[in-house]
Amino acid sequence: MTDKIIKNDQYYMQLAIQEARKAEAIGEVPIGAVLVYQDEVIASSFNLRETLETTASHAEMLVIDKGNQHFKSWRLEGCTLYVTLEPCPMCAGTIVQSRIQRVVFGALDPKAGCAGSLMNLLQDDRFNHQVEITSGVEAEVCASLLQTFFKQLREKKKLLKQLKTREESIQE
């Protein structure tokens, strides 16, 4: 890979990280995505699954939808998708179907990743389209965002459980 591509990947991943921080700020899982075409950001978004209460409101899905609207087409040929976490099966399938050329992601997802961790839907030659993958871009930052978020969530749940237990013992 050329130095220019590596620098561009880092730049656009930083934009995806900014999107992830927006998700975190509203209590969503901090995952962000950016869609780029010919060195221009076409769309950006972050996870909104809890906010919108819809299964498909992953950052990638929202960005792909915005890209479809931008191009007035379901085809996103020539586009690169930057996402802070390895795509899940739903997102990987949509990426293949939308004909995105390349996916660049930060952190691996050993529980649901379909760009190499559990399986590789993006490059399965049984499909009529395969996607170029670059993984590990800003991986530490992306993983840290998720780890910190889930640690805080566990601590919050533990605290709420303790408070509930105290309230119950006071009422007895």
As annotated, the binding site includes 58, 88, 91
**Binding-site residues from annotation for Zn(2+):** 58, 88, 91
Rounded distance between C-alpha atoms, residue 9 and residue 13, angstroms: 6
* 3 state SS of 53: coil
Query: Cα 3 vs. chain centroid, distance in angstroms?
Result: 24
Active-site choice (60, 132, 138, 167) = 60
60 catalytic? Reply is yes
**What is the token pair recorded at 160?**
């709420």
Give Cβ neighbours of residue 127 (< 8 Å, ≥ 6 apart).
Answer: 96, 121
Rounded distance between C-alpha atoms, residue 37 and residue 115, angstroms: 21
Question: What positions carry a catalytic annotation?
Answer: 60
